[in-house]
């Protein structure tokens, strides 16, 4: 029986209330005298025979009993003023605690004794009426006890140890003066400073209550460190706290399931309900949450160190390779994890490195962001998960994200006609854009269910006190809407307006801290291009992460030198890799490096994973992905390829072809006064690279090769591309893109080569139907202008001006709205083929984008009167195309009205379920109280009507189970489309009446 | 400057002052809009799903219906956009407020701070045609016919048409009408007057004109506390200084200048993410404020 427990039992019984303190003192002294007698009997210094005489159980229990009473007296002693009470003074002067500790050491120092002692101290420090830890004679034996418990403790001891440590930390947090003493005592010990802290570190990642208590205790110290530089320095310089924490994440991550169990068709992101079921994930999330909390409270020194370790010890060496795993399944899982992490992290400093990682880190020379973007176009579930991730990213309202994703492509303003620049800031005073958007509602969709008001006996409809629901009742006055009696009013539209206002205001609020207005003037379009070129030539990594190179870091792979990048650029893709890959063969891909391993030393023969994946998706692309015409026009190469193919068809001999190629090499050598001789094809590539990141040249080359193998069955066709000088200055990263538009081009080539292909038929469809109502002002000519204009179609191997610097300059600033916009719009254009949940996510993303108040974004997405460059595809054009597709579909499908009605009913049914879903979604966020106002709750991002993914609950009423998938998808899309238009129109209208001038005090207003 | 008027500036209040007490300070709210939105139930209770017939005839009809049903929204938002433009203009001494009943009717008051009409406080109502912005120009009628060459002595209507012969959408805005209404009191125009007497007097006998103006100003002032001409919860109502109500509002207005900064600091921590250095276009270009040394 341990004394600790018995003490706590006894303690409750007697009360010392009213007992004379002197009496207590006398009792204490006599008890101690008894104890001391026994102690001295066994003290080898005092008694030479002590060594040999075993301690009898009797003696042990006698000591225990006395000690119990003594401790009780000590605890109950009330101190007068600041002075010690007599008992405490006696304890201190007699060094009683140390003697007792030595006694327990002399007995067998078993786990039980340790627990006994730990409990004793815990009771002392928590229950004593006077501060005890200030006294060295008490503190010192405590520290000795603690250090004796470190290391080889069993779980029961650990439990007690952590409880005590937790108590100590909370005491220190309340009274920081004790902290000094802890430091000094441990100096005496000669052991590591700040023992309590070091003892806690091993428990950081522990699961269960022990881990939780340890983390809580550490947080006490962390918040202490914010005030105390000594502590902060000590932790940062002398302990392994940060590395343990960060690498622990890596360790825990590696034990996460690499595949998620099938969660149903609609599953697209990990909600709390999902991850609570996985113990490994719970443990990881606990640690991540702890990191978040540490960063929140700790000293900047610790915060920065931890953040750097997480970046270099977790994100770069673990997450990056995990995002590039071999199978789609694994990649999808990682993406879902990343999304979950992003949603869970609330501290800006931590979020910053996650975003830095996504936006700027390059894995095998490709930005993570580009890789993620390219995955939207895959036909797998991966697409949905990636979309969900982007939804999270966009919902952060973070300037850096939006800059990288969209805005940098819009800043130069060359997506619009020069004459239109003034219109960027223009407001749509008369809701003209909204009207045009709503006018896109297909005629066939206006049948079916419309929510209208029951007729009322009033001249106008009063929306009176209707909203007791969400708004906290702050606005209780009545108001009206000028809707006259008898007119059908689409009340769902009112709801969209309300939600649009909320979304815009939230976004506006968050964007107040942004560095620029993005209104076509600030940042200045012209200086933007210049500075970008300059900044690019130096190509600086962020100083924060460069600094990291000096400190020993977990990983070596993070620091890819510019030189290394260049080396990789010059790698060639081997044709042999093109042959083996077929749609289903992802498993067969060898994996040349392990997850945590070294990614630098990648064998040159192996194309990077993402390239393989892109290629796979290129092959698997069922329907045409859409490209911006500019890509096409500028992309002389594609045509050259066709031309080359023609010539090959003509003489169909390998020699001739290679001769031709050699000829061009010669030609270009003479013509181009560039630093390096380049083949004609390379020049094209180069030209292309002016718009694209150099890495994509690899993709391109690969596709060329692939193309070649397809065009010409001769396996040993030699169209070797000589190592290429990557012109870093020209390949402006601003215009970096990734593979998907090449994939699109690839698709186009197939189209052209094979007139019977499905995509061509689709294309025909487009042209058959009159594209737009007569009222449209837009020039729809360019809509289906798949055929390039004469000037952009160079004669094979031809025109020199195509490669002249002049042309280069033009193509460098060629209108391009960025890979993300283009991939999202292309996906949207295929709305009828997409499944419901893909469409819901797409709609969510686009409405999120359209909620941003930045004039550049707003004018691009919502201003239907804006005149863009012919090569730029606007949202409006895409919507018009979808409209036509729906109308065509309605005319072909026999029972369209009936199906539409069912689809609408199904969607309404989903709305009914949305409240539950909202809960689910918000629960998924591990938000810290200080940061809840961020608008990152997914549910806030888009309206209830389109609330997707009601998860398990929404399943029962699945629409049209009997229908073929493509019909079902199309009908659901048709039902969704008008709602989407309303949502956009509502956003356009709300934007038009926002008073940006009064931004400063719109809180009153909201 | 008459202290009474400067006081009454802050004493302008609305009757249903459950919200937006700050009308006189800065018209920064569009009550109509704000409340329209906020009143909406998440799922309308009085809504009924209507299944429209699917016959072609009905379909075409319902197309019209669809468009018609959004018409009011366009109109309302056009007017609200106009209203935000008015707010943006910050016309000195001019305040307007859309009525509760209809966005097509705005109540206003204009304070003349110097010139012949100094100390004048004129309430007025703006009537906007319901085919706005494609119709005629809005009408502006003073509650009491001010003695002025361009104000009809009987109806109190200001001759707006002379300034906006043809109302052109995108070019003409309601704030211009308000600016015009203010300007006529500073720069007097006597050509083709609605009040020939005033015009003639101004030309021939300025002293008499001035005294008539003073009388008119006094008359308007004496009726200032009258009930508004048009019964409406959002009508502009003046009341004598009441410390219980007005002191607090005044205090708030006077302290408002400091507030934005505080709020700014606060909101920096709460929300919004940006690591872009101003002037740079590179992500994460901002330097850490608390870089350890």
A13-66 pLDDT tens trace: 456 666 778 888 889 999 999 888 888 888 777 766 656 567 778 888 888 889
| Residue A461 φ/ψ, nearest 5 degrees | -95, 130
Residue of A nearest to B49 (CA): A451
Strand locations in A71-182 (E): none
* Residue among B65, B73, B270 whose CB faces A989 most closely: B73
- Inspect the interface and report whether the beta carbons of A509 and B272 lie closer than 8 Å: yes
Residues 175-234 of A with CB under 8 A from B: none
Which of A901, A897, A937 lies closest to A920, judged by CA?
A937
Q: How would residue A691 be classed by pLDDT, with cut points 50, 70 and 90?
A: very low
Q: Exposed (0-12), middle (13-18) or buried (19+): which is A534, by Cβ within 10 Å?
A: exposed
Min distance A992 CA to chain B CA atoms (Å): 6
Query: Which of B81, B98, B258 to probe the A interface (max A CBs under 10 A)?
Result: B81
Q: Exposed (0-12), middle (13-18) or buried (19+): which is A934, by Cβ within 10 Å?
A: buried
pLDDT(A628) > 60? no
Q: How would residue A722 be classed by pLDDT, with cut points 50, 70 and 90?
A: very low
End-to-end CA distance of chain B: 59
Each residue of A599-634: b (16+ CB within 10 Å) or e?
A: bbebeeebbbbbbbbbbbbbeebebbbbbbbbbbbb
Report the C-alpha gap between A863 and A855 in whole angstroms. 10
The whole-number average pLDDT for the span A122-139 is: 85
Question: How many residue pairs from chains A and B have C-beta atoms closer than 8 A?
Answer: 296
Given this model, what pLDDT does residue A16 score? Answer: 65
Looking at this predicted complex, what is its ipTM?
0.76
**Which residues of B are less than 8 Å from A434 in CB distance?**
70, 73-74, 77
- Inspect the interface and report whether the beta carbons of A480 and B36 lie closer than 8 Å: yes
**Which residues of A are less than 8 Å from B256 in CB distance?**
1001
Count, in order, helices (H) and strands (E) of chain B: 8, 7
- Inspect the interface and report whether the beta carbons of B67 and A490 lie closer than 8 Å: no
Q: Does A676 touch chain B (CB under 8 A)?
A: no
Q: Does A918 touch chain B (CB under 8 A)?
A: no
- Inspect the interface and report whether the beta carbons of A477 and B45 lie closer than 8 Å: no
Query: Which of A347, A362, A394, A400 to probe the B interface (max B CBs under 10 A)?
Result: A400
pLDDT tens digit sequence for A958-976: 555 678 888 999 999 999 9
Q: Does B242 touch chain A (CB under 8 A)?
A: no
Average pLDDT, chain A: 68
Q: How would residue A537 be classed by pLDDT, with cut points 50, 70 and 90?
A: low
Q: How would residue B289 be classed by pLDDT, with cut points 50, 70 and 90?
A: low
**Which residues of B are less than 8 Å from A537 in CB distance?**
none
Query: Which of A993, A994, A999, A1004 to probe the B interface (max B CBs under 10 A)?
Result: A993
Q: Does B292 touch chain A (CB under 8 A)?
A: yes
Given this model, what pLDDT does residue A857 score? Answer: 93
Cβ atoms within 10 Å, residue B205: 12
Residue of A nearest to B173 (CA): A429
**Which residues of B are less than 8 Å from A911 in CB distance?**
43
Q: How would residue A914 be classed by pLDDT, with cut points 50, 70 and 90?
A: low
And the tokens for A959?
Answer: 């629409």
Q: Would you call B162 helix, strand, or coil by DSSP?
A: coil
Given this model, what pLDDT does residue A153 score? Answer: 67
Q: Would you call A745 helix, strand, or coil by DSSP?
A: helix
Residues 109-168 of B with CB under 8 A from A: 133
Count, in order, helices (H) and strands (E) of chain A: 45, 5
Among A84-93, A685-694, B129-138, B166-175, the minimum mean pLDDT is found in A685-694
**Which residues of B are less than 8 Å from A513 in CB distance?**
267-268, 272-274
pLDDT(A931) > 80? no
Q: Does A436 touch chain B (CB under 8 A)?
A: no
And the tokens for A119?
Answer: 């409990």
Tell me, yes or no, if the pTM score tops 0.80.
no
Q: Which residue has the higher pLDDT, A659 or B26?
A: A659
Min distance A417 CA to chain B CA atoms (Å): 21
pLDDT(A610) > 50? no
Given this model, what pLDDT does residue A879 score? Answer: 96
């Amino acid at each position: 029986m341990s004394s600790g427990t018995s003490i706590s039992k006894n303690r409750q019984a007697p009360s010392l209330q009213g007992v004379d303190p002197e009496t207590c003192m006398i009792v204490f002294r006599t008890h101690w005298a008894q104890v001391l007698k026994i102690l001295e009997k066994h003290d080898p210094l005092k008694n030479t025979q002590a060594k040999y005489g075993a301690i009898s159980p009797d003696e042990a229990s006698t000591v225990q009993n006395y000690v119990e009473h003594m401790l009780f007296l000590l605890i109950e002693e009330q101190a007068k003023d600041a002075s010690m009470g007599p008992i405490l003074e006696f304890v201190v002067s007699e060094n009683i605690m140390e003697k007792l500790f030595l006694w327990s050491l002399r007995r067998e120092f078993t786990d039980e004794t340790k627990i006994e002692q730990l409990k004793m101290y815990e009771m002392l420090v928590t229950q004593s009426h006077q501060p005890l830890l200030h006294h060295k004679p008490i503190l010192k034996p405590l520290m000795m006890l603690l250090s004796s418990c470190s290391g080889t403790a069993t779980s029961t001891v650990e439990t007690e140890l952590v409880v005590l440590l937790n108590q100590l930390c909370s005491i220190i947090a309340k009274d920081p003066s004790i902290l000094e003493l802890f430091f000094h005592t441990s100096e005496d010990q000669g052991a590591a400073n700040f023992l309590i802290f070091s003892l806690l570190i091993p428990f950081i990642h522990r699961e269960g209550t022990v881990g939780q208590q340890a983390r809580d205790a550490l947080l006490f110290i962390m918040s202490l460190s914010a005030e105390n530089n000594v502590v902060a320095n000590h932790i940062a310089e002398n302990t392994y706290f940060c590395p343990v924490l960060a690498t622990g994440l890596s360790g825990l991550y590696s034990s996460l399931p690499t595949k998620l169990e099938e969660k149903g068709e609609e599953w697209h992101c990990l909600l709390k309900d999902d991850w609570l079921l996985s113990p490994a994930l719970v443990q990881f999330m606990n640690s991540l949450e702890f990191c978040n909390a540490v960063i929140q409270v700790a000293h900047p020194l610790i915060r920065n160190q931890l953040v750097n370790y997480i970046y270099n010890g977790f994100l770069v060496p673990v997450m990056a390779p995990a995002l590039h795993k071999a199978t789609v399944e694994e990649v999808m899982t990682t993406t879902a994890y990343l999304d979950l992490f992003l949603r869970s992290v609330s501290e800006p400093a931590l979020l910053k490195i996650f975003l830095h990682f996504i936006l700027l880190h390059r894995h095998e020379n490709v930005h993570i962001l580009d890789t993620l973007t390219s995955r939207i176009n895959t036909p797998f579930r991966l697409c949905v998960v990636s979309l969900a991730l982007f939804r999270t990213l966009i919902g952060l309202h973070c300037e850096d994200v939006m800059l990288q994703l969209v805005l940098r492509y819009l800043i130069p303003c060359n997506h619009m006609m020069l004459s239109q620049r003034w219109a960027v800031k223009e407001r749509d005073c008369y809701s003209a854009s909204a009207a045009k958007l709503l006018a896109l509602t297909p005629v066939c969709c206006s049948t079916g269910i419309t929510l209208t008001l029951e007729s009322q006996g009033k001249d106008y409809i009063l929306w009176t006190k209707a909203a007791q629901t969400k708004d906290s009742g702050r606005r209780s006055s009545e108001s009206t809407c000028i809707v006259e009696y008898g007119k059908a009013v689409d009340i769902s539209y009112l709801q969209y307006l309300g939600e649009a206002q909320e979304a815009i205001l939230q976004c506006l609020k968050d964007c107040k801290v942004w560095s620029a207005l993005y209104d076509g003037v600030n940042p200045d379009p012209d200086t933007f291009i210049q500075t970008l070129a300059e900044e690019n030539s130096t190509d600086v990594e962020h100083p924060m992460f460069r600094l990291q190179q000096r400190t020993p870091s977990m990983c070596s792979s993070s620091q890819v030198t510019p030189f290394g990048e260049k080396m990789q650029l010059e790698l060639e893709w081997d044709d042999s890799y093109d042959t083996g890959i077929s749609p289903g063969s992802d498993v067969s891909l060898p994996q040349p490096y392990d997850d945590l391993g070294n990614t630098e030393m990648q064998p040159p023969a192996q194309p990077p994973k993402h390239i393989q994946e892109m290629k796979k998706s290129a092959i698997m692309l069922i329907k045409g992905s859409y490209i911006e015409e500019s890509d096409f026009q500028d992309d002389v190469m594609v045509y050259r390829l066709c031309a080359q193919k023609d010539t090959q068809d003509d003489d169909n001999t390998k020699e001739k072809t290679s001769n031709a190629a050699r000829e061009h090499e010669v030609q270009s050598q003479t013509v181009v006064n560039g630093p390096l001789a380049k083949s004609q094809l390379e020049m094209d590539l180069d030209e292309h690279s002016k718009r694209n990141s150099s890495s994509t040249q690899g993709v391109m080359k690969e596709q060329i090769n692939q193309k070649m193998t397809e065009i010409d069955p001769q396996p040993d066709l030699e169209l070797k591309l000589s190592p290429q000088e990557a012109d870093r200055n020209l390949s402006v990263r601003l215009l970096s893109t990734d593979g998907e538009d090449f994939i699109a081009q690839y698709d186009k080539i197939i189209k052209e080569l094979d007139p019977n292909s499905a995509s061509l038929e689709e294309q025909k469809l487009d042209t058959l139907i009159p594209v737009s109502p007569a009222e449209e002002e837009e020039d729809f000519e360019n809509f289906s202008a798949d055929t390039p204009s004469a000037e952009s179609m160079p004669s094979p191997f031809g025109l020199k001006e195509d490669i002249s610097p002049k042309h280069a300059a033009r193509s460098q600033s060629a209108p391009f709205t960025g890979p993300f916009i283009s991939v999202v719009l292309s996906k949207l254009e295929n709305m009828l083929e997409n499944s419901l949940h893909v469409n819901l996510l797409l709609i969510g993303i686009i409405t999120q984008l359209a909620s941003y108040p930045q004039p550049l974004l707003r004018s691009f997405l919502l201003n239907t009167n804006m005149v863009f460059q012919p090569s730029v595809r606007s949202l409006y054009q895409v919507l018009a195309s979808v409209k036509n597709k729906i109308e065509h579909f309605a005319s072909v499908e026999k029972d369209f009205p009936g199906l539409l009605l069912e689809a609408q009913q199904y969607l309404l049914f989903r709305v009914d379920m949305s409240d539950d879903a909202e809960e689910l979604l918000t629960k998924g966020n591990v938000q810290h109280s200080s940061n809840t106002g961020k608008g990152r709750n997914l549910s806030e991002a888009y309206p209830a009507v389109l609330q997707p993914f009601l998860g398990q609950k929404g399943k029962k009423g699945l629409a049209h189970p009997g229908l073929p998938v493509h019909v079902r998808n199309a009908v659901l899309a048709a039902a969704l489309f008008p709602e989407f238009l309303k949502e956009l129109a509502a956003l356009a209208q709300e934007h038009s009446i926002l008073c940006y001038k009064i931004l400063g005090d719109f809180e009153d207003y909201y | 400057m008459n202290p009474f008027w400067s006081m009454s500036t802050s004493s302008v209040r609305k009757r249903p002052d459950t919200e937006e007490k700050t009308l006189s300070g800065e018209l920064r709210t569009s009550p109509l809009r704000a409340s329209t939105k906020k009143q909406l139930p998440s799922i309308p209770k009085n809504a009924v799903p209507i299944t429209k017939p699917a016959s072609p005839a009905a379909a075409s009809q319902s197309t019209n219906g669809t468009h018609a049903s959004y018409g009011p929204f366009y109109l309302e938002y056009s007017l609200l956009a106009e209203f935000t433009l008015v707010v943006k203009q910050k016309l000195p001494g001019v305040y307007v407020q859309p009525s509760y009943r209809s966005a097509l009717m705005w109540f206003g008051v204009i304070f003349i701070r110097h010139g012949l009409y100094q100390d004048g406080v004129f309430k007025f109502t703006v009537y906007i045609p319901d085919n706005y912005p494609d119709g005629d120009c809005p009408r502006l009628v003073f509650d009491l016919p001010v003695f002025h060459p361009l104000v009809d002595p009987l109806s109190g209507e200001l001759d707006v048409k002379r300034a906006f012969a043809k109302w052109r959408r995108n070019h003409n805005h309601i704030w211009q009408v308000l600016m015009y209404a203010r300007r006529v009191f500073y720069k007097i125009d006597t050509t083709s007057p609605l009040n020939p007497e005033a015009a003639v007097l101004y030309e021939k006998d300025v002293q008499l004109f001035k005294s008539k103006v003073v009388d008119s100003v006094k008359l308007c002032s004496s009726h200032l506390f009258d009930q508004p001409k048009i019964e409406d919860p959002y009508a502009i109502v003046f009341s004598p200084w009441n410390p219980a109500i007005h002191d607090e509002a005044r205090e708030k207005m006077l302290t408002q200048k400091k507030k934005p900064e505080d709020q700014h600091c606060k909101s920096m921590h709460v929300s919004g993410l940006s690591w872009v250095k101003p002037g740079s276009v590179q992500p994460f270009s901002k330097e850490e404020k608390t870089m350890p040394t």
